[in-house]
Structure 1
Amino acid sequence: MSKKTRKCNCDFAEDTCKKEPEFEQLRTQIHDLQEQIQQLTELVRTDALTGLYNHRYFREALHREVERTQRTGADCCLVLIDLDHFKLVNDTWGHEVGNLALKHAANLIRFTIRPMDLPCRYGGEEFALLFPSTPLITSKQIAERIRDILEKTPLECENHSIKLTASFGIASYSANSLLTEDQLIEKADQQLYLAKNQGRNQVCAAISEQNHYPQVSQEEKDLLNNLFDNNQ
């Protein structure tokens, strides 16, 4: 009695089944390519020195958060941070130590913020933070924690302890705000300069610009009530 040929139980036709190892190799290659694309995407939007998001990505993220606020009604906040007297660090210790100071500050920022927050290197010794769905009072609390931990955690370098402080400017954005994205940045920048002018190493904040709707007069209210009553 001849043996029966065992049929393949897989979902592929017989010819396709024989090529399953080739398909598996192709799937592996596709997965590797996807990982490489993801890594390249991270490089494009990440600042090489600090590991935070770069200025280009910051503008994209700001646009998304403004649109999200308009859609959901939940406020967002922008925080600008500038390291105090950073030129003195470079002049005293050199640019290599200055770069270490920027990395140090970036790591403290990353450690202190929430997973939902977006930390960016805005340029030079300046950083920007986006706080999605966050009211002004909460943003001020987070900024104050960053300011405090930065002040209390000096950079230890070359047997020296280098103290760093920073000034903070915050602007909030609500769904009925009149501000454009550039104006929101300008508003936060104004608060940053205020913090610097008031002695540095502090947090200053501005409330969101609200639309001002015209008030209905009592005479207009009475007229509307009369119209409503007459239609009954």
Structure 2
Amino acid sequence: MPSDTPQTAPTCPVGENQCNIIDELINSRETIEALNEQLQTDSLTQLGNYRQFCQIIDKEMERTQRTGQPTAMILVDLDFFKKVNDNWGHEVGNLALVQTAKLLKTAIRKLDIPCRYGGEEFIVILPSTDLLTGTQVAERLRALIADTPLEFETEAGAQSIQLTASMGIDIYTHTHHETREEFVARVDSLLYEAKHGGRNQVKAGVRQDMQPTANVSADEKDALFGIFGDEE
């Protein structure tokens, strides 16, 4: 049962009304929290970085094993990003990454966790999400990127270029016994298929509920004929 006693502020060990020791401890704790947040945030896009991704996906995979709820993962790769850098410079390339990060936050749900995976790659963790729902989220993101030109200013005036992205999407279930690296590699192979299948598309894993049923054996056929009889 919660106590009704009000929480009191820390008291100074030397009995002073204003305590430099406590002030320093509070400031140190706030500094540590700020530094920890910086260590897990990509400075350009303000998304989670690779370190944060690793921490979160490990927790969600463990949660899947406990609850049986699947965890979905989307791997996003901007198409022809090297050409953007080569033709327009790295500053415009950075603008493309920032815009993609903003669109990504717009397209996903509140429970989803977006991170910058590295270079022009992004990754989205979708907790408690089946493959159909995850694929719908990925398709929404793909369409939003393709339908939102990158606009920027140059010495020659206003410019606009179209960006597209290829994506791989699959889920981790309690029947999977693989590491984080193996899960990422599985989704990355789907991204590879999307890239080599024409780009600007989503390639999803195989839905288990859409698997074809097993072939009926001869004995099962005989049993069925015995039930329904031979029809002319």
Question: What TM-score comes out, normalization by structure 2 length?
Answer: 0.77
Q: How far off its partner does 1:56 sit?
A: 2.1
Counterpart in the other structure of 1:21: 17
- Shift, 1:52, TM fit: 1.1
Structure 1 match to 2:220: none
Q: Distance in 2 between matches of 1:134 and 1:36?
A: 36
1:37-186 equivalence runs, <5 A: 37-158=32-153, 159-186=158-185
Work out whether residues 101 and 155 of structure 1, in 8 Å CA contact, stay in contact via their aligned partners in 2.
yes
> Which amino acid in the other structure matches residue 79 of structure 2?
D
How many percent identity over aligned positions?
47
Distance 1:117 1:31 in 2: 32
Judged with a 3 Å threshold, the aligned counterparts in structure 2 of structure 1 residues 28 and 207 are, in CA distance, closer, same or farther, namely farther
Decide which structure has the larger Cα Rg and report it: 1
Alignment gaps of 5+ in structure 2: 1-7, 209-232
1:35-62 deviations in whole A, cap 9, x for unaligned?
Answer: 3222111110111111111112212222
User: Aligned letter for 1:59?
Assistant: C
Of Structure 1 and Structure 2, the greater helix share is in 1
DSSP-derived class of the 2:17 partner:
helix
Alpha-carbon spacing, 1:31–1:113, altered in 2? closer, same or farther (3 Å): farther
Shift in Å, 1:28: 5.1
Indicate the residue corresponding to 1:187 in structure 2. Answer: 186
Once the 2 structures are TM-superposed, how far is the Cα of residue 26 of structure 1 from its aligned partner?
5.6
Shift of 1:19: 4.3
- Name the CA distance, whole Å, in 1 between partners of 2:104 and 2:26: 33
- Compared CA separation, residues 112 and 31, structure 1 to 2 (3 A): farther
Query: Separation in 2 of the partners of 1:162 and 1:26?
Result: 56
- CA 1:120–1:75: 2 relative to 1, 3 Å: same
Q: Structure 2 counterpart of 1:166, which letter? A: A
* CA separation of 1:64 and 1:207: change in aligned 2, threshold 3 A: farther
Equivalent-residue separation in structure 2 for 1:26 and 1:115 (angstroms): 40
For 1:121 and 1:52, the matched residues in 2 are separated by 6
TM-score of the two chains, using structure 1 as the length reference? 0.77
The alpha-carbon deviation at position 27 of structure 1 amounts to 5.2
Deviation by residue 1:31-86 (Cα, 9 ceiling, x = unmatched): 44333222111110111111111112212222111111001110001111000010
The CA distance in 1 between the partners of 2:206 and 2:57, in whole Å, is 17
Give the SS at the match of 1:156: strand
Amino acid at match of 2:173: S
Backbone CA RMSD of aligned residues:
2.2
Alpha-carbon offset, residue 207 of structure 1: 3.6
CA contact (8 A) 1:172 1:208 kept: no
Looking at structure 1, the residues matched to 34 and 176 of structure 2 have their Cα atoms a distance apart, in angstroms, of: 36
SS at match of 1:161: strand
- Residue 196 (structure 2) aligns with: 197
Q: How far 1:177 sits from its partner (Å)?
A: 1.3
By how many angstroms is 1:142 displaced?
0.9
In structure 2, do the counterparts of structure 1 residues 117 and 107 end up closer, same or farther at CA, with 3 Å as the change threshold? same
